[in-house]
Chain A
């Protein structure tokens, strides 16, 4: 099974959720700036490569975790992905999508725009981290919910 955390650019919130899922970032406290910077693929996705799924790792249940940027078109792209996989005899239950853009702090959006679109990394990256740290509990909540559902789905209590 593959799990895709998706957001606008595939550089910040989806990577954060995937990192929490895989234990690169803690669930019990807000990580510091250095911990964010050391997360693989954090604030790295180029604007021109948006849409390319990025493999982050495999979790304890054997599920492959990916991050992907779908702009504001997830309502188009998710059916497009599912119809393409159906065409290739891959059942759509093999893949799960989790929206990680919920309750995005506006500062994260501004930081992401500066860093990824305008290439002002030194200015934008700290802003994205500041915004994500402010809303960190929301991301932990998303990942906890996902993990709980996965455990129930696979049948491990």
Chain B
């Protein structure tokens, strides 16, 4: 089975939730400041890139975990992928997980920094604080979806 975390962009909440899912990030504690700032760099460089399915790794039950940024068209993406499965007779199931928690803030902060690079230090601090606030919510959602996956429920 493939599990796809999708959000407006791939590299903020979708990326973090996928990282929590496969164990790169610990569910119990926040990533260190260095990791958060690395993700800020990632957001800054690739924040507006959309439409690429990125492989993240395997989870403990050998499910392939992917992330994708698809703007506000997640539901349409589900329809397209399920349609392609039927057309090309792809047997493997796909489990879609919407990952949009806190994305609005991240998008706003990246745009703000692009427009006013001089305030980068302040924006970065805001980014770290919003990230820290969103992290428990991401963990909760990942736990919930993993439970659903274990029980074999449909999304």
Please give the residue numbers on chain A whose beta carbons come within 8 Å of chain B beta carbons, in ascending order.
2, 49-53, 55, 64, 66, 68, 70-71, 73, 75-81, 83-85, 87-88, 90
By a CB distance below 8 angstroms, the chain B residues around A52 are: 79-80, 82-83
Given known A53-B83, A73-B71, A75-B51, contact A80–B88 (CB-CB < 8 A):
no
Nearest neighbor of A80 in chain B, beta-carbon distance: B51
- Is A76 a contact of B71 with CB atoms below 8 Å? yes
A68 to B73, CA, bound (A): 14
A136 to B55, CA, bound (A): 43
Nearest neighbor of A87 in chain B, beta-carbon distance: B53
A108 to B119, CA, bound (A): 47
- Is B76 a contact of A79 with CB atoms below 8 Å? no
Asked if B81 is at the interface (CB within 8 A of a chain A CB), the reply is yes
- Is B52 a contact of A51 with CB atoms below 8 Å? no
By a CB distance below 8 angstroms, the chain B residues around A75 are: 51
Please give the residue numbers on chain B whose beta carbons come within 8 Å of chain A beta carbons, in ascending order.
50-53, 55, 68-71, 73, 75-84, 87-88, 90, 92
Of the candidates A77, A85, A88, A90, which one forms a contact with B51 in the assembled complex, judged by CB atoms under 8 Å apart?
A77
Of the candidates B53, B73, B76, B79, which one forms a contact with A84 in the assembled complex, judged by CB atoms under 8 Å apart?
B53
Of the candidates B76, B79, B84, B90, which one forms a contact with A73 in the assembled complex, judged by CB atoms under 8 Å apart?
B76
A78 to B85, CA, bound (A): 15
Of the candidates A50, A53, A88, which one forms a contact with B90 in the assembled complex, judged by CB atoms under 8 Å apart?
A88
A53 to B80, CA, bound (A): 7
Given known A73-B71, A73-B73, contact A80–B80 (CB-CB < 8 A):
yes
Of the candidates A49, A50, A53, A70, which one forms a contact with B84 in the assembled complex, judged by CB atoms under 8 Å apart?
A53
By a CB distance below 8 angstroms, the chain A residues around B52 are: 79-80, 83
- Is B90 a contact of A71 with CB atoms below 8 Å? no
By a CB distance below 8 angstroms, the chain B residues around A73 are: 70-71, 73, 76
Nearest Cβ distance between residue A147 and chain B, in whole angstroms?
22
Nearest neighbor of B81 in chain A, beta-carbon distance: A84
By a CB distance below 8 angstroms, the chain A residues around B78 are: 51
- Is B53 a contact of A51 with CB atoms below 8 Å? no
Nearest Cβ distance between residue B37 and chain A, in whole angstroms?
28
